[in-house]
Amino acid sequence: MFWCSRTPGIDHRTFIIDGDQSYSFNEIFKLSEEVVSDIPKRSVIVIESHRDLDTVCTYIGALRNGVVPLLVDANLKDEAVARIANSYQAEFVFGSGNRDLAGYESSGSARGKSVYSRNDKPGINVYEELCLLLPTSGSTGEAKCVRTSYDNLSQATQSIIRYLEMDESRVSISSLPLHYTYGLSVLNCALESRSRFVLSDKSWLEREFWSTVEKHAVTDLSGVPFMFQTLRRMRLSENILKNLKCVNQAGGRLEPVLTEYFVNYFLAQDISYFTMYGATEASPRISYVPYHNSKEKVGTVGIPIDIGRLSTDAADGVSEGELIYEGPNVCLGYGYNREDLTLGDENNQLLRTGDIGFIDEDGYATIVGRKKRFVKVFGNSVNLDTIESMVRPVAGNSVALGADDKVLVLITEGDTQQIKNIILENVTFPSRGLKVNKVSEIYMNASGKPDYPRMNAEFL
Amino acid sequence: MSNKQKYDEIFIEVFEISSDQLNESLEYQSIEPWDSVGHMALMAALEDEFDIMLEMDDIIDFGTYLTGIETMKKYGVDM
């Protein structure tokens, strides 16, 4: 398991670089254990995630001490954090200092984080193999989580570092949030491969991010589609390009023309470029496009990782249908409350992805549509039903539609700006991803349910 | 419409703000819509309107409503 100590000769090497400070694996492990030393094993802790040393140490400390971390977006409001914590009766919340969390009392601090302690201890033991909880739709403050086991996380991480060919010479950077399954996976991969991980809380749009990349000779960059749209306009300096070894993109669909551009751009610099596909439910990787085939397979999400299998639910298993992934990295199941955390594996390694696609003769999958009511908005997975449940109490008859980087709410009464504000109060994805329009009618199908296909065709 | 008016109109449209919310103290991340995603949308809209191609350095330095006016001038847009 990547969070366990290895021989001293390996673990005295540098792991985390934070500004001018660097910390070896041993030092991080020591700091990590101090953070969670007072937390009983098999407790659940909610961690407000920042791209900083405290978050890294709290997360690693939890894994090392048998504590179950639930990582949440730091931008969530107090009510949302409290709702999530109370759903799981989390024993502790590690957050910023000025939180007012119903059911919790401030009980001191650990490193930079304030610790809030639950007033009523649950007395319900969580399943022994439960490792990690991540929200399915983190940007909307929903409590529903994916239950990941120790084996899920370990196996997925090992498989990823095999295809990325990561070893101890690599240097990654926190370009993505740590509560986001892809962002967390970058940290896990650095730890598994015993390579360096540079902390930065800046975006690709900020000069400081790129000066940090250059200063610490970063070799691996990870981004979601929106970040690559930005990168398309940049000329990375020679001092950055000379160190880069691997650039990878996941978290939604990038236009094939941009993928093609990056494949060629990085190939010319002898840098491998990976398109990858996954889901929080797959801890998080399902497939990737091997870099030596990246040119021929532009537009596909590649082949399954080496521990899994990918098929469709069509009769022949490859024609268009829902993509089905099988592998030891498929999560245990979902959770909504504390009782659910006592459950073992409900999935038996089988994941219905909700994505519609087909598989070509070389085994490469292409996604053509979406079955579930989830969309990716600038890298954030958003549940459209959650958006509807925010709107309906105020606006009555209304629906939420969605596509890549777009959530469209249709209302028949009320003020569009007011409804928009109500939603934005409760979500953390960029406001550009949200539109509210007034229509004369919400279309219903024969069974009296919203006719989403018809409205998608007309309004999206 | 003058270029300055077009410039203002783009801020109003891209960020979906009202004209009284538009003022000279607007800067990156001072209002919710002007986040990194909104910023790139603003750049694309300005490029389309004025038929220019902004360099990445200028995109990064475009931190406020006022510095943006200077950037437009640099690209030959008469403000």
Q: Are residues A327 and A389 in the same domain?
A: no
H helices of chain B, in order, are 3-15, 36-50, 56-61, 65-74
Chain A residues close to B59, C-beta within 8 Å: 205, 233
* B47: in domain: yes
Closest CA to A361 of A300, A306, A313: A300
Chain A residues close to B34, C-beta within 8 Å: none
Chain A residues close to B36, C-beta within 8 Å: 203-205, 226, 230, 430
Q: What pLDDT digit, counting tens, does each position of B29-69 carry?
A: 899 899 888 999 999 999 999 999 888 889 989 999 999 99
Q: Are residues A379 and A324 in the same domain?
A: no
Chain B residues close to A204, C-beta within 8 Å: 36
Q: Are residues A10 and A155 in the same domain?
A: yes
* B66: in domain: yes
* B22: in domain: no
CA distance B24 to chain A (A): 22
CA distance A109 to chain B (A): 30
Chain B contact residues (CB < 8 Å to A): 32-33, 35-41, 54, 56, 59-60
* B5: in domain: yes
Q: Which residue of B has its CA nearest to A424?
A: B32
Contact A433 B56 (CB under 8 A): no
Return the pLDDT at A391: 92
Nearest to A431 among B33, B40, B60 (CB): B33
Contact B59 A226 (CB under 8 A): no
Chain A contact residues (CB < 8 Å to B): 203-207, 226, 229-230, 233-235, 378, 424, 430-433
Residue A42: CA atoms inside 13 Å, Cβ hemisphere, count?
Answer: 12
Contact B41 A432 (CB under 8 A): yes
B1 has a pLDDT exceeding 90: no
ipTM: 0.75
DSSP H or E run through A389: helix A384-395
Contact B56 A233 (CB under 8 A): yes
CA distance A230 to chain B (A): 7
CB A21 within 8 A of CB A45: no
* B30: in domain: no
Return the pLDDT at A233: 82
Residue-number span of the structural domain to which B48 is assigned: 1-14+39-79
Residue A248 gets the label, from left (phi > 0), alpha (psi -120 to 50) or beta, of beta
Q: Are residues A367 and A383 in the same domain?
A: no
Residues A140, A223: Cα–Cα separation, whole Å: 21
Q: Are residues A235 and A384 in the same domain?
A: no
* B21: in domain: no
Centre a 10 Å sphere on the Cβ of residue A93 and count the other Cβ atoms it contains.
28
Q: Are residues A258 and A205 in the same domain?
A: yes
Look at the alpha carbons of A424, A430, A432, A438 in this order and tell me if their dihedral is positive or negative.
negative
Q: Which residue of A has its CA nearest to B31?
A: A431
Task: Report the CATH number at residue A217.
Answer: 3.40.50.12780
The residues, ordered by sequence, that sit 6+ positions from A425 with a Cβ below 8 Å of its Cβ are A77
Q: Are residues A380 and A353 in the same domain?
A: no
Contact A230 B36 (CB under 8 A): yes
Interface size between A and B, measured as CB pairs under 8 A? 36
Q: Are residues A322 and A441 in the same domain?
A: no
H helices of A216-347, in order, are 225-231, 238-241, 256-267
Q: What pLDDT digit, counting tens, does each position of A390-403 carry?
A: 999 888 899 999 99
Residues A213, A210: Cα–Cα separation, whole Å: 5
Out of A371, A405, A420, a domain closes at A371
Task: Report the CATH number at residue A405.
Answer: 3.30.300.30
Residue-number span of the structural domain to which A422 is assigned: 374-459
DSSP H or E run through A104: strand A104-110
**SS3 per residue for A413-455:** CCCHHHHHHHHHHHCCCCHHHEEEEECCCCCECCCCCECHHHH
* B6: in domain: yes
Q: Which residue of A has its CA nearest to B17?
A: A417
Chain B residues close to A431, C-beta within 8 Å: 32-33, 35, 38
Out of A336, A371, A406, a domain closes at A371
Q: Are residues A348 and A390 in the same domain?
A: no
CA distance B66 to chain A (A): 19
CA distance B57 to chain A (A): 8
Q: Are residues A102 and A121 in the same domain?
A: yes
Nearest to A432 among B37, B56, B59 (CB): B37
Out of A346, A371, A396, a domain closes at A371
Give how many domains chain B has, as a whole number: 1
Q: What pLDDT digit, counting tens, does each position of A179-217 carry?
A: 999 999 999 999 999 999 999 999 988 889 999 999 999
Return the pLDDT at A140: 84
> What does residue A111 show for φ and ψ, rounded to 5 degrees?
50, -135
Contact A432 B35 (CB under 8 A): yes
Nearest to A234 among B38, B41, B56 (CB): B56
Contact B32 A424 (CB under 8 A): yes
Q: Are residues A286 and A429 in the same domain?
A: no
DSSP H or E run through A247: strand A246-249
Per-run averaged pLDDT (10 residues), chain A, 460 residues:
88 96 97 93 96 97 97 94 96 94 92 90 91 90 94 98 97 96 97 98 91 97 93 87 97 93 95 97 98 95 98 96 97 97 97 96 94 87 90 91 93 92 90 93 87 92
Return the pLDDT at A110: 83
Give how many domains chain A has, as a whole number: 2
How big is the CA angle at A308 (ends A307 and A311), to the nearest 5 degrees?
A: 165
Q: Are residues A391 and A263 in the same domain?
A: no
Both tokens of residue A7? Answer: 């021989």
Residues A187, A62: Cα–Cα separation, whole Å: 15
